[in-house]
Amino acid sequence: MTFPDGEELATMSRSYRTIQTELRHGVLWATIDNPPINLIDEPFVTDLIALLDETDTDGDVRVVVFRSADADFFLPHVDVQRIAEYTAAAATSGGPDDISLGALYRRLSEARPITIAVVEGRARGAGAEFLHACDMRFASLERAVIGQPEVGLGTFPGAGSVQHLVRLVGRGRAMQVILGAEDLDGREAERIGVVNKTLPDEQLIAYVERLAARIAGFPEAAVRLVKRRINAAGLPPKEDVHVDAGFFQILARDPASTARMGALMERGLQERSRTELELGAAVGEL
Amino acid sequence: MTFPDGEELATMSRSYRTIQTELRHGVLWATIDNPPINLIDEPFVTDLIALLDETDTDGDVRVVVFRSADADFFLPHVDVQRIAEYTAAAATSGGPDDISLGALYRRLSEARPITIAVVEGRARGAGAEFLHACDMRFASLERAVIGQPEVGLGTFPGAGSVQHLVRLVGRGRAMQVILGAEDLDGREAERIGVVNKTLPDEQLIAYVERLAARIAGFPEAAVRLVKRRINAAGLPPKEDVHVDAGFFQILARDPASTARMGALMERGLQERSRTELELGAAVGEL
Amino acid sequence: MTFPDGEELATMSRSYRTIQTELRHGVLWATIDNPPINLIDEPFVTDLIALLDETDTDGDVRVVVFRSADADFFLPHVDVQRIAEYTAAAATSGGPDDISLGALYRRLSEARPITIAVVEGRARGAGAEFLHACDMRFASLERAVIGQPEVGLGTFPGAGSVQHLVRLVGRGRAMQVILGAEDLDGREAERIGVVNKTLPDEQLIAYVERLAARIAGFPEAAVRLVKRRINAAGLPPKEDVHVDAGFFQILARDPASTARMGALMERGLQERSRTELELGAAVGEL
């Protein structure tokens, strides 16, 4: 998505269907607002691609901060009833082999601006994988919940968490986070290194705002080169992105998985229900 | 070791010579019981291979939890007077190049069930390397002691700790743990990431039991695939396993090493002595 | 630099121009003393090479502990007005491709003795990279300050921090430390794993002395082999050292960078000024 010179600022202050944006001093505040509960679905994926298309060509956006308009949910997980649809949307982002949400997240990791996620509600499954794809993550002490429920549903964290968690927290803790499928609170996420830092709500935004402003004010060539070199050392080989994405697609069609998803749907999955709010507990009760 | 269908449950509830086992709801509780102090010797290695042979072919065992019957010792280290014997036993486990304890531990890392170690006493040397080979490790706040005394003895941690510690705790802390040869308590082990978590004795087993039960109840295909992908990203190249094993064999025959081991044997090594209980201190006093 | 047998001890107790040394029981205490503020300049680089030449051939030096004679500064950063000079000096250390401070630091990482840095003042930029190149790092709770101000200056951490930080603290925290360009205190540096441990001043030296004495007393073959194997698993590919060094050279000549350095020089950079003492804050105010 390109647009004539001089229109960038206006473009950036308009909103997408599911993401509200506001550009202030080089920092694009991008608030995910996809009712009812911010599921990762085709409209959100389409908007994320549009946002990346625009920020990759708009030098005025130096930092993107992702927040949520929903007090309970950052990104709860993918829409498990529309996997084919959002995957097809994700496939419109990249090259001929980039046909997965994991490949789109890889593009997010390599985005031109610096990306920061502020975790103020639940980020689970591919929602947690969105966090890891960003350059940095800061969590609310009171409200952050991070988890990988996939294995409890019989599926596979196919959009990056296997790769990111091994590198961030080591083999043993990656095993526990993914195989245990339990929710982490902000304090635990900080302790093991899943997020950069966890702060009380009353300090969180000011902290991120200050950090984002610093980075937005530094010379861009240095910022971009550092990001590229850290990514070169810290991101997994692309082949692993594709392999993991394939395993998710296979297991999501497995009868063991569809049966468990069906059981959870009956208990309120994908609604603002106790099941969705306490998904880590719910997958352990199946 | 294979056995006719239908006999798995009975087989699993029998005990090995040095490991007591009990299967409950898909979780095999395997208690190491090799008096006098749980040295890693030929009988233990033989039993570990038998246990892996059986659990790799027995789908009823979804998780193995390793504990110790000895209040002071989980696995203190190898039997330094029987290196040739336990190494020969280890060589019966794998392929033609897998002729070391390190190669057997690699097989443990790739075992079909999920493996969890509960560190309630001393785990040093190849005993600590056993921990790292498991998928997860949980430590007793009051009683866990983890250490690599090898360098203090003039030998080399050849069964995995070099590789695992660099990946778990980084180059600087790996240098300190191995070159310093000091004992870590549970709190420090948790702080730097050597164990998943450290808990007071009164909470430890309930915590592990709950986690093991969750994993045992999740669809097996998802659990196994996640383990395989985490291992693919988190385990070292096999060649490094063989190189490290070779260096242990070479240094264990070095006069500097045999002299120090001899001096410690005179002070009670391999007995329930102050030397063995406080081995981190003892190697510093040679 | 070679010298006749038997003269090692005498040689080691003499001082270099910018580094005072004292050998005690196999531990060389090397105190950086390069007034006015311990900048990394041609004399210091020349002395560091001489020290490495000598300790690599002197078996009496088992451990080197780097300290600072300046209460405020460990190594503040390179002399930004003499980049060509210290780089030329660094190029005298190694092979035909080793023409950078990063390559010299790589040689430091592979030095024959075990190297320990005691961070009692400011270590920023290439001063922080010196820390990472050492085998271990211990920080003063009251006085340590560690930071990477390069991006704030429009340059690039080209002597190792990109590579070391990704491996020590993970992609997200490496992004924050380098892109945020903020100062870390000792407690934060320990929390995220940038240093091995942070201790109050009244315990710091005794702790390091005890650790160094242990290592110096252990059989040398084991110590050196462990260091080599940890380095093989934990150091980046050499090509990355060269690539990062090249990016520093390129950005250091960029007008955006020279303008910012000029502005900071006017505010007291490279003097014992508020700008230099609070450099993390100062680069955010440009």
C133-174: pLDDT as tens digits: 999 999 999 999 999 999 999 999 999 999 999 999 999 999
Pair B18, B34: CB distance under 8 Å: yes
CATH at C93: 3.90.226.10
Interchain proximity B137–A178, CB inside 8 Å: no
Predicted confidence at residue B95, as pLDDT, reads: 76
Q: How many CB atoms lie within 10 A of CB A202?
A: 9
Interchain proximity B174–C221, CB inside 8 Å: no
Nearest Cα neighbor of C142 from C203, C75, C201 is C201
Query: Which of B129, B148, B151, B156 to mutate against chain C (most C CBs within 10 Å)?
Result: B151
Is residue C3 domain-resident?
A: no
Q: Is A263 on the interface with B (CB under 8 A)?
A: no
> What are the chain C neighbours of B163 within 8 Å (beta carbons)?
233
Angle between helices A126-133 and A161-180 (to 10 degrees): 140
Interchain proximity A215–C244, CB inside 8 Å: no
Interchain proximity C196–B162, CB inside 8 Å: no
Predicted confidence at residue B94, as pLDDT, reads: 78
Interchain proximity B172–C227, CB inside 8 Å: no
Report the residue from A136, A195, A230 with minimal CB separation from C166: A230
Is residue B3 domain-resident?
A: no
pLDDT at C8 exceeding the cut of 60: no
Q: Is C151 on the interface with A (CB under 8 A)?
A: yes
Q: Is A196 on the interface with C (CB under 8 A)?
A: yes
> What are the chain A neighbours of C166 within 8 Å (beta carbons)?
230, 233-234
Predicted confidence at residue B58, as pLDDT, reads: 87
To the nearest whole Å, the CA of B206 is away from the closest chain A CA by 15
Q: What is the mean pLDDT of chain C?
A: 94
Query: Which of B225, B227, B228, B235 to mutate against chain A (most A CBs within 10 Å)?
Result: B225
- Could you tell me the residue range of the domain that residue C161 belongs to? 8-284
Is residue C1 domain-resident?
A: no
Predicted confidence at residue C7, as pLDDT, reads: 45
Total number of domains in chain C: 1
* Rounded CA separation A236/A154 (Å): 24
Neighbours of chain B (3+ CB pairs under 8 A): A, C
Q: How many beta-carbon pairs below 8 A join chains A and C?
A: 105
Is residue A163 domain-resident?
A: yes
* Rounded CA separation C275/C283 (Å): 9
To the nearest whole Å, the CA of B176 is away from the closest chain A CA by 18
Q: Is A148 on the interface with B (CB under 8 A)?
A: no
Predicted confidence at residue A37, as pLDDT, reads: 98
Query: Which of A225, A231, A235 to mutate against chain C (most C CBs within 10 Å)?
Result: A225
C41-88 pLDDT per residue, tens:
999 999 999 999 999 998 899 999 999 999 999 999 999 999 999 999
pLDDT beneath 70: ranges in chain A:
1-14
**Tokens representing A275?**
């099941």
Is residue A2 domain-resident?
A: no
Query: Which of B129, B164, B171 to mutate against chain C (most C CBs within 10 Å)?
Result: B171
Interchain proximity A179–B217, CB inside 8 Å: no
Q: How many beta-carbon pairs below 8 A join chains A and B?
A: 105
Interchain proximity B218–A181, CB inside 8 Å: yes
Mean pLDDT within C235-243 = 96
Interchain proximity C234–B171, CB inside 8 Å: yes
To the nearest whole Å, the CA of C152 is away from the closest chain A CA by 5
Predicted confidence at residue B14, as pLDDT, reads: 62
Predicted confidence at residue A15, as pLDDT, reads: 80
Residue A149 buriedness (CB in 10 A; 0-12 / 13-18 / 19+) = buried
Interchain proximity C137–B192, CB inside 8 Å: no
Is residue A158 domain-resident?
A: yes
Is residue A214 domain-resident?
A: no
Better-predicted residue by pLDDT, C6 or A147:
A147
Interchain proximity C171–A195, CB inside 8 Å: no
Report the residue from A136, A137, A233 with minimal CB separation from C162: A233
Interchain proximity C251–A221, CB inside 8 Å: yes
C181-214 pLDDT per residue, tens:
999 999 999 999 999 999 999 999 999 999 999 9
Closest-CA residue of chain C to B244: C229
Predicted confidence at residue A183, as pLDDT, reads: 98
State the complex-level ipTM.
0.95
Neighbours of chain C (3+ CB pairs under 8 A): A, B
Is residue B210 domain-resident?
A: no
Who's near A40: CB < 8 A, 6+ residues apart? Answer: A75, A77, A78, A79, A86, A101, A126, A127, A130
Strand pairing report for A136-140 and A184-185: unpaired
Q: Reduced to 3 states, what is the DSSP secondary structure of residue A138?
A: strand
Per-residue pLDDT tens listing for chain B (286 residues):
333 444 444 445 567 999 999 999 999 999 999 999 999 999 999 999 999 999 999 889 999 999 999 999 999 999 999 999 999 999 998 777 778 999 999 999 999 999 999 999 999 999 999 999 999 999 999 999 999 999 999 999 999 999 999 999 999 999 999 999 999 999 999 999 999 999 999 999 999 999 999 999 999 999 999 999 999 999 999 999 999 999 999 999 999 999 999 999 999 999 999 999 999 999 999 9
